[in-house]
Chain A
């Protein structure tokens, strides 16, 4: 029974540590960012802008400054149904700045959002 108790307590400790470390988020090292990169930030569970625009057929960068402790990301979808993801990466906890390297996109209107907080959203225009 003591062995069972020890196993349960060790398992519990591992789960608790994993939960804490998983929720603590990414590092805070600043990435090198293209001066022409699109910029967007998140604060108080809101994006700084609801519109972004980029040139069609060319890769571009997005500098995302998450100023919240809550995890956020910027994921790009074909439309507001968020069914077809065009670009996305894992949410990270702030404060931290992350550079996204977005592949070339065809002209059109795209939908972007934070996957953890779908109310944080906007429109990316590519032309």
Chain B
């Protein structure tokens, strides 16, 4: 019970300056890779860019539900970036813009992981906590 209260307090704590720096960096990296994909043309790249923009918005939008599920957005965005990298590995195009986009996506995953650990700790513990609260079924 005490452990659960500690976790709840940790998950709900206000943003520190470090959190704000991480969040700003995450949004900037997300929008940078969104911009690159948006310039590539074609439906797939455009949808990919749109997904990144939605992810960036979900990270900062000041709505209660979004704020509560920010941990899930972080996991989702990291998975999205990893999928984008995997798609490039399967069908690579070797040129400077592609390398830059993949480097940004790798940096994005790293920053998201740091942010997650700082805000939420162990992902498994976080999911368990949410399930115990009944917010994930």
Contact = CB atoms under 8 A, between A and B. Distances in A.
B39 A71 contact: yes
A116 B32 contact: no
Range of interface residues on chain A? 20 to 34
Contacts of B14: none
Given A1-B18, A69-B39, A70-B40, A12 B104 contact: no
Nearest to A12: B28
A20 interface: yes
A45 B41 contact: yes
A118 B91 contact: yes
B41 A16 contact: no
A93 B39 contact: yes
Interface string B94-106: 1111001100100
A72 to B, nearest CB: 9
Interface in A52-107: 68-71, 73, 90-91, 93
Interface residues of B, number: 28
A18 B39 contact: no
Contacts of A69: 39, 41
B29 interface: yes
Contacts of A73: 95
B35 A20 contact: yes
A22 B95 CA distance: 10
A12 B39 contact: no
B24 interface: yes
B22 to A, nearest CB: 8
Contact of A68 (B17, B41, B93, B94): B41
Among A1, A22, A45, A91: residue with most chain B CB under 10 A? A22
25 contacts: A4-B17, A4-B18, A4-B21, A5-B20, A11-B25, A12-B24, A12-B25, A12-B28, A15-B29, A18-B100, A19-B32, A19-B33, A19-B35, A19-B100, A19-B104, A22-B97, A23-B35, A23-B36, A45-B42, A70-B40, A70-B42, A71-B39, A71-B41, A117-B41, A117-B42
